[in-house]
Amino acid sequence: MQQPTESYINAIGRAVPEASAPQETTARFMADMLECDERDRRRLMTLYRFTRIEKRHSVIADYAKQRGEFTFYPNTEGMEPFPTVSQRMQLYRREAVPLALNAIQDCFDAYPGFDKGQITHVITVSCTGLYAPGPDIEIIEALGLPGHTQRLAINFMGCYGAFNGLKTASSIVRSNPDATVLVVCIELCSIHFQKKTDTEHLLANALFADGSAAVLVQSKPRPDIAMRLRSFYCDLLPEGKSEMAWHVDNFGFEMTLTSEVPTHIQRGIRQLMQRLLSQCGLEMNDIGLYALHPGGRRILEVIEEQLGLSTNDNRYSYAILREYGNMSSATVLFVLQRIWADLASGALDMPAHQPNIFSCAFGPGLTLESMITEVVMPQLELADTISESASASPQFS
Q: Which residues are catalytic?
A: 159
The DSSP H or E segment spanning 235 is: strand 226-236
Task: Measure the CA–CA gap between 348 and 342, rounded to whole angstroms.
Answer: 5
DSSP class of 114 = -
Task: Measure the CA–CA gap between 326 and 208, rounded to whole angstroms.
Answer: 5
Q: Report how far apart, in Å, the C-alpha atoms of 18 and of each of 21, 26, 125 are.
A: 10, 16, 21
DSSP class of 354 = -
Q: Report how far apart, in Å, the C-alpha atoms of 229 and of each of 211, 274, 376 are.
A: 23, 18, 11
User: Counting beta carbons within 10 angstroms of the beta carbon of residue 260, is it exposed (0 to 12), middle (13 to 18) or buried (19 or more)?
Assistant: middle
Cis check for the bond before 221: say yes or no (omega within 30 of 0): no
Q: Provide the residue count of the chain.
A: 397
Q: What does R_g of the chain's alpha carbons equal in angstroms?
A: 22
- Give every strand in the sheet of 226-236, ordered side by side: 150-155, 121-126, 181-188, 210-218, 8-15, 226-236, 367-376, 356-363, 287-292
Task: Measure the CA–CA gap between 242 and 208, rounded to whole angstroms.
Answer: 19
3-state secondary structure of 160: helix
Task: Please count the CA atoms within 13 angstroms of the CA of 336 that sit on its side-chain side.
Answer: 35
3-state secondary structure of 157: coil
**Torsion-angle region of residue 9: left (phi > 0), alpha (psi -120 to 50) or beta?**
beta
3-state secondary structure of 387: helix
